[in-house]
Amino acid sequence: MHVTRGFTGRPRVPDPGLPPGQYDAGDTWPVLSAEVTPESSPADWTFRIDGLVAAPRTWTWQEVDELPASAYEGAIHCVTSWSKFGVRFGGVSLDVFLDAVRPAESATHVVAYSHTGYTTNLPLADLTGGRAWIAREYDGRPLDPEHGGPARLLVPHLYFWKSAKWIAGIRVLDHDEPGFWEQNGYHDRGDPWEEQRYAGD
Ligand SMILES: Nc1nc2c(c(=O)[nH]1)N[C@H]1C(S)=C(S)[C@@H](COP(=O)(O)O)O[C@H]1N2
Ligand SMILES: [Mo]
């Protein structure tokens, strides 16, 4: 009997963990950087939250060591269409930092910025509820410099461009202020499940 190829084997059902238009990059982890990887060590790294907060503050690496650590295990989704499953980041939840600085009632958005000058904007709500981290470890090891080490923002429920590498700080605002990619045609929020890739999607 003749069997047409393509009708045998596993049906091509999309992976339920894969957002629309994404593919599984498997074990690879592409590096996407607009900047040259900076030389930055834990000794000179700092993280600041200011803007519309009651108690603006800067943390050193050692001060972050004192905060309760938590992990993210799951997937990340890049707008260039690769997704990576089974990633394991260690860090500190943004909830811990935001509780310390106390955002004003009027606060609605943030701009996250890197030590290199990269910026990305997010609704403040996307940084709360145990969904965002200052990540310092990957697979139990220090985060590689090319992946944003010593520390990066990690917001895995949004496209990965929101996860600013070499994170330096977060400015809390009462309005939305588009960041680097958002000023260059990318979507303001970037929800991979809604396929919010470009402005207007
Ligand atoms: N500082 C900085 N952060 C950044 C970027 C960048 O160019 N500079 N690229 C973003 C994009 S588009 C993606 S997909 C991820 C890539 O992270 P990776 O290189 O660890 O895969 O970082 C995001 N954060
Ligand atoms: Mo990306």
pLDDT tens per residue, range 50-66: 999 999 999 999 999 99
CATH of the domain at 85: 3.90.420.10
Residue 48 lies in a domain: yes
User: What ligand is nearest to the CA atom of residue 32?
Assistant: 1
For 56, the domain range is 42-194
Strands annotated E in the chain: 23-24, 46-51, 57-60, 70-77, 82-93, 109-114, 119-123, 133-138, 141-142, 152-154, 167-173
**Probe residue for ligand 1, chosen from 111, 139, 160, 197 as the CB with the greatest number of ligand atoms within 8 Å:** 160
Residue 95 identity (one-letter amino acid) = D
Residue 186 lies in a domain: yes
pLDDT tens per residue, range 88-139: 999 999 999 999 999 999 999 999 999 999 999 999 999 999 999 999 999 9
> How many A from CA of 164 to the centre of ligand 1?
6
pLDDT for 1: 42
Residue 199 lies in a domain: no
Residue 5 lies in a domain: no
CB neighbour list of residue 7: distance below 8 Å, 6 or more residues apart: none
Q: How many domains does the chain have?
A: 1
Beta partners for 50? 171
> How many A from CA of 43 to the centre of ligand 1?
22
Closest by Cα among 84, 85, 83, 87 to 20: 83
Rounded Cα distance between 196 and 201, Å, is: 5
Residue 179 lies in a domain: yes
Helix (H/G/I), strand (E/B), else coil: 42: helix
The tokens for 160 are 């990965």
> How many A from CA of 152 to the centre of ligand 1?
9
User: What ligand is nearest to the CA atom of residue 181?
Assistant: 1
pLDDT tens per residue, range 150-192: 999 999 999 999 999 999 999 999 999 999 999 999 999 999 9
**Is the CB of residue 83 less than 8 Å from the CB of residue 148?**
no
Against a cut of 0.85, is the pTM above it?
yes
Cis peptide before 19 (omega within 30 of 0): no
**Is the CB of residue 152 less than 8 Å from the CB of residue 31?**
no
Beta partners for 141? 138
**Is the CB of residue 162 less than 8 Å from the CB of residue 110?**
no
Residue 5 has pLDDT above 70, yes or no: no
Measured from the Cα of 78, ligand 1's closest atom is 14
Residue 160 lies in a domain: yes
